[in-house]
Amino acid sequence: MAAGGLGSCCWSTLSYTSHFQVRTSSLVVKAPRGRLVTGKPLRRSFVIKAEVKYVNGEEAKQLVAVEGYSVVDVRDTSQFERAHIKSCYHIPLFIENKDNDIGTIIKRTLHNNFSGLFYGLSFTKPNPEFVQTVKSQLSPDSKVLIVCQEGLRSAAAADKLDQAGFENIACITSGLQSVKPGTFESVGSTELQDAGKAGLVTVQGDISRVLGAILVCAFLFITFFPDLAEKIIGLIPI
């Protein structure tokens, strides 16, 4: 490119470190009488980020047994206590929500009367100390296998640790519910794949599912159509 009798060109070289690819560029300008003027080098840095590995149960077993990955279980306490991989770190992504403001009390009451009662799910909130707790147990260059029950929480946890600088992260694609019995040595009262099952659903099976659905629908109907619900209730003979 030329302008006002000046011509210019530039070149670049690449250098590598363990974490960064660094591009260095220099600008050369040709003056009217052929004199070369070299500008200051321009440095641009490009961060090369490692990708999170998504593996199945057998592959996860190899990562732990052969490659030395540490297991971080991010499930809530209730699921962890039912069954967990032996010698893993338990650092929940969500913790029990014990806040006592009006909004939280109402949400917790509704949760405990429905999801909590029928499916054994705890009322939780994000753990604000999750990343810091992991860092206190493992260094960012550690090899970490993150596990949860269905695979969603582990993916979210992996994203947080990736942003925090952890470089070797793996997750089980569909969570511990997809792991075959005997894949890992486990501790607890049930198998790893069954640790997410709790509440009345496990006791009464299909009857509880149907009853739970009916109660939820009735609750929503009364909430959104109170006048009509009152009329219907008034037609019921006592």
Answer with the residue of higher pLDDT: 212 or 136: 136
- Please indicate, yes or no, if residue 103 is contained in any of the structural domains: yes
In the 8-state DSSP scheme, what is residue 192? G
The torsion region of residue 127 among left (phi > 0), alpha (psi -120 to 50) and beta comes to: beta
Q: How far apart are CA 11 and CA 27, in angstroms?
A: 7
Who's near 138: CB < 8 A, 6+ residues apart? 70, 72, 89, 144, 166
- Please indicate, yes or no, if residue 102 is contained in any of the structural domains: yes
The per-residue pLDDT for range 1-11, each reduced to its tens digit, is: 444 444 444 44
- Please indicate, yes or no, if residue 227 is contained in any of the structural domains: no
- Please indicate, yes or no, if residue 231 is contained in any of the structural domains: no
pLDDT > 50? residue 238 = yes
Contacts 24+ apart (CB under 8 A), 20-26: 20/45, 20/46, 20/47, 20/48, 21/45, 21/46, 21/48, 22/46
- Please indicate, yes or no, if residue 138 is contained in any of the structural domains: yes
- The least confident of 20-24, 56-60, 170-174 is 20-24
- The least confident of 39-43, 60-64, 69-73, 107-111 is 39-43
For Cα atoms 189, 77, 203, give the angle at the middle one, nearest 5 degrees.
50
Two structure tokens written together for 69: 């990955």
Active-site annotation, residues:
148
- Please indicate, yes or no, if residue 238 is contained in any of the structural domains: no
Q: Is residue 232 very low, low, confident or very high in pLDDT (cuts 50, 70, 90)?
A: confident
User: H or E stretch including 119?
Assistant: helix 115-119
- Please indicate, yes or no, if residue 211 is contained in any of the structural domains: no
Structure confidence at residue 212 (pLDDT):
65
Q: Among 31, 26, 29, 30, which residue's Cα sits nearest to residue 11?
A: 26
Tell me the CATH number at 73. 3.40.250.10
Predicted TM-score (pTM) of this structure? 0.62
Structure confidence at residue 187 (pLDDT):
96
In the 8-state DSSP scheme, what is residue 18? S
Q: Is residue 104 very low, low, confident or very high in pLDDT (cuts 50, 70, 90)?
A: confident
Task: Print the domain residue range for 121.
Answer: 53-198
Structure confidence at residue 199 (pLDDT):
54
Amino acid at residue number 20: F
Structure confidence at residue 14 (pLDDT):
42
Two structure tokens written together for 58: 């057998």
- Please indicate, yes or no, if residue 147 is contained in any of the structural domains: yes
- Count how many domains the chain has: 1
Q: Is residue 45 very low, low, confident or very high in pLDDT (cuts 50, 70, 90)?
A: very low
